[in-house]
Amino acid sequence: MNITIINGSNTDAKWLDHENALLSFAKKLETNHQVTLVTIKDLKLNYCTGCWDCWVKTPGVCMHKDDGPGYLKTIVKADMLLYASPIVSGFMSSETKKALDRFIPSVLPLIRPYEGEYHHLKRYDSANTFGVLLFEDMDTDPEAAQIIFENFNRIRKNMRADHFISQLVRPDNMEVLAHEISRY
Amino acid sequence: MKLAVINGSPRGEKSNSKKIGAWITSQQGLHNDLTVDTYYLFKINRQDAYIEDLSGTYILLFIFPLYVDSMPGIVKLFFEKLEQKKQAFGGRPVYFVIHSGFPELIHSRSLERYLKYYATKIMDMNHLGTIIWAGSEPLQMAPDNFFRKKIILFEGQLATILTKKRLPEDISEQLGGKEHISKFQSIIYPITPFKDFYWNSQLKKNKAKKLLKNQPYA
Ligand SMILES: Cc1cc2nc3c(=O)[nH]c(=O)nc-3n(C[C@H](O)[C@H](O)[C@H](O)COP(=O)(O)O)c2cc1C
């Protein structure tokens, strides 16, 4: 299985141990799967401008000349797509949000009902499992985590993925999670 | 009295958010001592300067579109920067307008929940309500006349905002929003003849119709 992990950490040193553990998590998964780990802050990725060129002018291709194509290639080939994010201001980080907004070229503008709601059709036969790994520390407010999980479950519908993974992760529990996912 | 309209659309001055802001503030002439200033968050390099400015006495009114089920990335960036200066914003009256392409309220509910959490638990602000307008995209296609009832409703909120009162609990429903589509709609929609008309006409205009389902990164 192709697994893509998007690391949406910001530059706060507070999350370095989580990021290192994420690296080991990806390595561990490599034993049984093809794994790609993309760190958004290392890319040149602009914010989406909402122009919709990627739907009506150059379908599937964003107008930004940046690292977007490489990012899109890794997410459209994934069978399992996981976004890893610290909690910043009570929500996913702005790096994670920027990356999610840049997902739009990989769906079609066309809308059809899915799970009783309007959603766009997929452009690619991509990830059927979608999820979020939320970095946890002593300050984590369960209410914020709950809101973020709920929000990612909405994004799952937008991506028309049937399966959802939502997990609070700490440097000391990622190995167990890797073990569980490896059996998928 | 000072009102800051904070436009969080990446489309900036060409946005639907700008239109909505103009509707809400259209009666500003009726309020003698009122100053309305608009801030565009898509000007990322100016976000820090905006925060300095906003730490004055403004009532805050955020208006932005739903982007992949929450706020656009530029808005989240601004929220993070604002938190760094939160001591200047304690108790501040704040209102939000979120609007979405899809016509169901359910798409925006999770963001609505977060906005309340952010305003009250992260920023210690005085959160006085969130308006959801589900189905704002036709603003790009139809003349304003088409939205007359909604415009009147938006205009009517200015008095509430300036008196720092709470918005009506059912304001999003008053705007015509339904939580979900009906079972009937979800069955009938896929066989409706003109459902893709707007997108097809845009693609045709750009000579890109054949590329609709292009998979450049397969
Ligand atoms: C990148 C992107 C993501 C979007 N995601 C959603 C979404 O998840 N749900 C939705 O209902 N509309 C979505 N929309 C539609 C916008 O909310 C809608 O077009 C809105 O009217 C744009 O307002 P603006 O002109 O003020 O930016 C999205 C639009 C863009 C460009």
∠ Cα A38 A178 A133 (to 5°): 55
Q: Are B89 and B40 in contact (CB under 8 A)?
A: no
Q: Do A110 and B199 touch (CB under 8 A)?
A: yes
Q: Based on the structure, what is the number of domains in chain B?
A: 1
Question: Is the CB of residue B213 less than 8 Å away from at least one CB of chain A?
Answer: yes
Which of A14, A66, A101 to probe by mutation at the B interface, max B CB count within 10 Å?
A101
Q: Do A151 and B70 touch (CB under 8 A)?
A: yes
pLDDT-based confidence at residue A183 (cuts at 50, 70, 90): confident
pLDDT, tens digit, for every residue of B167-180?
999 999 999 999 99
Residue count of chain B, please give it: 218
pLDDT, tens digit, for every residue of A142-160?
999 999 999 999 999 999 9
Q: Do B122 and A110 touch (CB under 8 A)?
A: no
Q: pLDDT value at position A145?
A: 98
Q: Which residue has the higher pLDDT, B127 or A183?
A: B127
What CATH number is given to the structural domain containing B93? 3.40.50.360
Q: For chain A, report the end-to-end CA distance as a whole number of angstroms.
A: 9
Q: pLDDT value at position B68?
A: 98
Rounded to whole angstroms, the Cα distance separating A16 from A23 reads: 11
How far is ligand 1, taken at its centre, from the CA of residue A109, in Å?
11
Give the closest-approach CA distance of A131 to chain B in angstroms: 14
Rounded to whole angstroms, the Cα distance separating A37 from B114 reads: 28
- Cβ neighbour number for residue B182 with a 10 Å cutoff: 10
Q: Do B189 and A112 touch (CB under 8 A)?
A: yes
pLDDT of A51 > 90? The answer is: yes
Q: Give the residue on A whose Cα is nearest the Cα of B216.
A: A60
* Pocket lining: B100 vs ligand 1, CB cutoff 6 Å: yes
pLDDT of A184 > 80? The answer is: no
Q: Are A8 and A157 in contact (CB under 8 A)?
A: no
Question: Is the CB of residue B197 less than 8 Å away from at least one CB of chain A?
Answer: no
**DSSP assigned state of B25:** T
Sign of the dihedral through C-alpha B6, B7, B12, B13: negative
Q: Are B16 and B137 in contact (CB under 8 A)?
A: yes
Q: Which helix (H) or strand (E) holds A122?
A: strand A117-122
Best residue among B66, B102, B108, B179 to mutate for probing ligand 1, ranked by most atoms within 8 Å of CB: B66
β-pairing, A91-92 vs A129-135, is: unpaired
Best residue among A48, A51, A55 to mutate for probing ligand 1, ranked by most atoms within 8 Å of CB: A48
pLDDT-based confidence at residue A46 (cuts at 50, 70, 90): very high
Q: Whole-model pTM above 0.95?
A: yes
Rounded to whole angstroms, the Cα distance separating A93 from B83 reads: 13
Query: What parts of chain B have a pLDDT lower than 70?
Result: none
Instruction: Give the mean pLDDT of A168-181.
Output: 95
- The CATH homologous superfamily for domain A2-181 is Flavodoxin domain (3.40.50.360)
Contact residues, chain A, for B193 at CB < 8 Å: none
* Pocket lining: B133 vs ligand 1, CB cutoff 6 Å: no
Backbone angles phi, psi at A63, to 5 degrees: -75, -15
Q: pLDDT value at position B87?
A: 96
Buried b (16+ CB within 10 A) or exposed e, A120-151: bebbbebbebbbbbbbbeeeeeeebbebbbeb
Q: Are A100 and B65 in contact (CB under 8 A)?
A: no
The answer to whether residue B200 is domain-embedded is no
Q: pLDDT value at position B141?
A: 83
Give the closest-approach CA distance of B123 to chain A in angstroms: 9
The answer to whether residue B150 is domain-embedded is yes
> Residue A163: beta bridge partners?
A129
Q: For chain B, report the end-to-end CA distance as a whole number of angstroms.
A: 55
Please, which residues 75-114 of chain B have a Cβ atom closer than 8 Å to chain A? 76-77, 79-80, 82-83, 102-104, 106-107, 110-111, 113-114
Rounded to whole angstroms, the Cα distance separating B194 from B44 reads: 39
Rounded to whole angstroms, the Cα distance separating A45 from B77 reads: 14
Atom nearest to B136 CA in ligand 1: 21
pLDDT-based confidence at residue A115 (cuts at 50, 70, 90): very high
The answer to whether residue B205 is domain-embedded is no
Domain housing B179: 2-183
How far is ligand 1, taken at its centre, from the CA of residue B89, in Å?
28
Q: Strand A129-135's sheet: what is its strand order?
A: A34-39, A2-7, A80-85, A129-135, A163-169
DSSP string, B133-155: EE--GGGGTS-GGGGHHHHHHHH
Question: Is the CB of residue B142 less than 8 Å away from at least one CB of chain A?
Answer: no
Q: Do B196 and A110 touch (CB under 8 A)?
A: yes
- What ipTM does the predicted assembly reach? 0.98
DSSP string, B62-78: EEEE-BTTB--HHHHHH
Instruction: Give the mean pLDDT of A154-167.
Output: 97
Find all residues with CB under 8 Å of A93, minimum gap 6, and list them: A8, A9, A10, A85, A86, A87, B76, B80
Average pLDDT value over all residues in chain A: 97
pLDDT of A80 > 80? The answer is: yes
- Tell me whether residue B58 is exposed, middle or buried, using C-beta atoms within 10 angstroms of its C-beta: 0 to 12, 13 to 18, 19 or more: buried
Instruction: Give the mean pLDDT of A103-113.
Output: 97
Give the closest-approach CA distance of A92 to chain B in angstroms: 9
Q: pLDDT value at position B140?
A: 81
Give the closest-approach CA distance of A98 to chain B in angstroms: 5
Structure tokens at A11: 């530059």
